[in-house]
A and B are shown apart, each in its own frame.
Chain A
Amino acid sequence: MGSILKIENLTISFGGIKAVNNVSFEVEKGSIYSIIGPNGAGKTTIFNCISGIYSPDSGKIYFKGDEITRLKPYQVAKKGIARTFQNIELFSHMSTMDNLMLGRHIHMKTGVWRGATFINKNSKAAREEIEHRQKVEEIIDFLDLQASRNQFVINLPYGTRKLVELGRALALEPELILLDEPSAGMNLEEKMDMIFSIQDIRDDLGITVLLVEHDMNLIMGVSDRILALNFGEKIAEGLPEEIQKHPEVLKAYLGEEEK
């Protein structure tokens, strides 16, 4: 299978500090690709460049062969890239259902007039609403979120919120999903569940996963390939086993032995 996402010589700096410096990599369609690195290595910055929140100083980003480098976030979403955030960015005063329904936004058409004037079940807006609610219900089943279906997200525990955010990204029916530290702050059991969810996303839904994570067990367990960054530069790329033994990676994480 070919590559779904291709990044060429990506560089972005914030006031003299090169957050990401000349990084290139390719993500195979249908794989789980992870980016690791110590704090401040530029992992989330790469995510923000892909999803259009930052626009890079130089370099190019291709998704399925189309360049998406300067697109706005909502245009990137329409291309089929969904993401989650490191510090949960949910719509806290909406129910889980409504959060996931917002994920369906780009697949729906109802405008102001139709939305404000639907009369009954057979009106266009209502029919569309019902159809998409069924789709969302499938995701709720997939992630076991039935109990929190009608609760405001603000009242949900942390781990559940992470799942809701994942569900919202899935509701967009993306081809590529960017997960920014999906297991941060979770306990061991929740982490195991998250590993299974990520594998299911790839195997059952056929979505390519790009992952940023600090938990090495999770990374080594699920990744097909890994990219290691330090101070914005690519220090290694390869299979999990290669990365584990790579001297540069060990140096970045453990420091150098004094001689």
Chain B
Amino acid sequence: MDIKRNYYEDIELFKSNTILVWSILFLLFLAVLPWLIVKYHLLGLSIYIVNLITVHAIVAVGLNILVGFTGQISMGHAGFFALGAFSTVILVLNWSMPLFIALPIAGFVSSAFGFILGLPALRLKGPYLAIATLGFGMTITTVIKHMEFFGGRMGLQAPKLELFGTLMKDVHFYYMIMIIAVVMVIGAVKLMKTRVGRAFIAIRDSDIAAEAMGVNLTYYKTLAFAVSAFYTGIAGGLYAFILGFINPESFHLIMSITFLAMVVVGGLGSIMGPICGAALMTFLDIKLQAIQDISLIGPALVAFSQKYMSLAGISNIAVIVYGLIMILIVLFEPLGIFGFWIRTKRYWKTWPF
């Protein structure tokens, strides 16, 4: 066992030198990832996909603060995502603000709405809360769709960003998004180790006891919504610039559910889990769209479809495979990918005994 010498070690970010070394190696890997992708086409990734994964990871970490740690469900996070995206674009476009100011403001706009949504959540639990938040997500996108200010049905074109006089490319975006993501993930880890995070977890495990110990439920439940919406809003702002174009139709209900699935597949109540979940789900989503291009499986599927079904239905197979993978993960490990990680770690700790 590791021996603790002082109380700070309980809340330290890197609890041991092993973790410190691995973290540094991982950061180095992230730093050279664009180069690896361009040179070796790692896993068939493109920088665009990695950017998308990173943005989704921020959302998943934020959503997990609400769902995994505080025990409140939300099916309306696409709404916060949309709020973040539209606020950022409008701030940059109409008020010509620099992105690094517009992003936090968009985060706070989103978290203000999170706070408002948190109020009815005080009285609702489980499925009822799910329906209320679902309504919220759908309302936001509908309102955006019908307001000229937000570009209406057509959506908005995100302005091209410049860095030192040259247009920003995907690679530049990559570093910008990655730095923001790393900072926000570390923030979430630290938050969950201190007073506010403890109050969140306490509310999840027993709200009666939490309140009897002096935790103001009203404040902390709405705060959880606000913090979660802040993460999602920032991610939304970044998403707008990755896509270069945003349209209210793209922030649909399925997006909210996919966010939720990332958290569940990754592992509720952990920080690294949802990041893995976001990576896996985003990767699968994009790769399975072009399922016929995958070697061996692709041509077989096409032949199968031609024989028994219409060829137009081939994209549906992607959805089936996607769903199947989700079911299998949740079935075999309720804690998701994070659960697999814990098991592996335990195995190695006691190996070869």
Contact = CB atoms under 8 A, between A and B. Distances in A.
Contacts of B188: 116
A115 B213 contact: no
Interface string A66-89: 000000111011100011010001
A105 interface: yes
16 contacts: A72-B216, A73-B211, A78-B214, A89-B212, A92-B206, A94-B202, A106-B214, A110-B195, A112-B191, A115-B197, A116-B187, A116-B190, A116-B194, A126-B8, A129-B10, A134-B7
Interface string B217-245: 10000010001000000000000000000
Given A110-B194, A130-B7, 17 more contacts: A73-B208, A73-B211, A74-B215, A78-B214, A89-B209, A90-B209, A91-B205, A91-B206, A92-B206, A93-B205, A94-B205, A97-B10, A98-B198, A106-B213, A116-B190, A130-B6, A169-B213
Interface of A: 51, 53, 72-74, 76-78, 82-83, 85, 89-94, 97-98, 101-103, 105-106, 108-112, 114-118, 121, 125-126, 128-130, 133-134, 137, 168-169, 172
Question: Interface of chain A, helix or strand or loop or mixed?
Answer: helix
A214 to B, nearest CB: 22
Contacts of B217: 74
Contacts of A129: 7-8, 10-11, 193-195
B142 to A, nearest CB: 31
A105 B205 contact: no
A125 B190 CA distance: 10
B213 A93 contact: no
A77 B212 contact: yes
Interface string B2-16: 000011101100000
A125 B187 CA distance: 13
A68 B125 CA distance: 28
B6 A91 contact: no
B198 A89 contact: no
B214 A115 contact: no
Contacts of A72: 211, 216
Nearest to A122: B8
B79 interface: no
A118 B210 CA distance: 25
B8 A89 contact: no
Contacts, number: 121
A6 B214 CA distance: 21
A89 B203 CA distance: 11
Contacts of B216: 72, 74
Interface of B: 6-8, 10-11, 187-188, 190-191, 193-199, 201-202, 204-206, 208-217, 223, 227, 269
A103 B213 contact: yes
Contacts of A51: 212
B333 to A, nearest CB: 17
A115 B193 CA distance: 8
A125 B11 CA distance: 10
A125 B205 contact: no
B191 A91 contact: no
A102 B191 contact: no
A98 B198 CA distance: 7
B6 A53 contact: no
Given A74-B216, A126-B11, A172-B214, A102 B199 contact: yes
Nearest to B269: A93
Given A94-B198, A94-B205, A74 B211 contact: yes
A80 B51 CA distance: 51
Contacts of B211: 72-74, 77
A93 B69 CA distance: 10
B319 to A, nearest CB: 34
Contacts of A94: 198, 201-202, 205
Given A91-B201, A116-B188, A121-B8, A102 B215 contact: yes
A47 to B, nearest CB: 10
A53 B210 CA distance: 12
Contacts of B10: 97, 129, 133
Of listed B6, B11, B223, residue having the most chain A CB within 10 A? B11
Contact of A90 (B6, B190, B191, B206): B206
A130 B8 contact: yes
Nearest to B227: A112
Contacts of A90: 205-206, 209
A90 B10 CA distance: 21
A125 B194 contact: yes
Of B197, B205, B208, the most chain A CB neighbours within 10 A belong to B205
Nearest to A103: B213
Contacts of A168: 213
Interface-centre pick from A74, A125, A134 (highest chain B CB count, 10 A) = A74
A117 B187 CA distance: 6
Contact of B198 (A92, A101, A114): A101
Contact of B214 (A77, A110, A134): A77
A181 to B, nearest CB: 15
